[in-house]
Structure 1
């Protein structure tokens, strides 16, 4: 599989495939640089379950984390990984994913 930039230079996408909720601090930096709605912010309640932040359960939220909401929308630019202060994301090169 071959990829190229607009001017024809070789380029290999590096797709986001997972976010480690134990490392994620929910800062939102990755969300802000992603223009594709690949991730969304969720809360983790006392039982360790993911909950929407727009619920009226803010007092029960122990932690906020990013989760993949539309993994297929990722174009593999890697911007999210470059801004992550905790290195909680896992990316895979397009050639490895195709295998």
Structure 2
């Protein structure tokens, strides 16, 4: 799935397909640059499971991490990857995405 830029150059969107919770530091930079709510802040518990944040009980998680929220809203711009200090995200080119979903 190739697209054209405004001046006609070819461009292949690379969609956010995963966030590594072990590498993510939960800084929120990616969330701030994404206007589409593709990601959200969650907790990572002792078992390595992503859990919702509960403002009343911070003991349910070890650290905060970014997690996928609405993967279908990603437009493949790559802004989140450019601001991520830990390179914890996986992006997949649109032309390879179809084979992953099949």
Q: Calculate the TM-score normalised by the size of structure 2.
A: 0.86
Distance between the aligned counterparts of 2:6 and 2:54, measured in 1? Answer: 40
Gaps of 5+ in 1: none
Q: Please list, as runs of the form range in 1=range in 2, the aligned pairs for 1:24-63 lying within 5 A after superposition.
A: 24-63=24-63
The count of corresponding residues between Structure 1 and Structure 2 is: 99
How has the CA–CA distance of structure 1 residues 7 and 54 changed in structure 2, closer, same or farther, with 3 Å as cutoff?
farther
The answer to whether the aligner puts 1:89 opposite 2:89 as a matched pair is: yes
Asked if 1 retains the 8 angstrom alpha-carbon contact of 2:19 and 2:89, the reply is yes
Measured after TM superposition, the shift of residue 5 of structure 1 is 1.9
Q: Aligned with 1:98: secondary structure?
A: helix
Measured after TM superposition, the shift of residue 53 of structure 1 is 2.2
Report which stretch shifted further, 7-16 or 87-96. 7-16
RMSD: 1.6
Measured after TM superposition, the shift of residue 47 of structure 1 is 4.2
Distance between the aligned counterparts of 1:83 and 1:43, measured in 2? Answer: 21
Q: Calculate the TM-score normalised by the size of structure 1.
A: 0.88
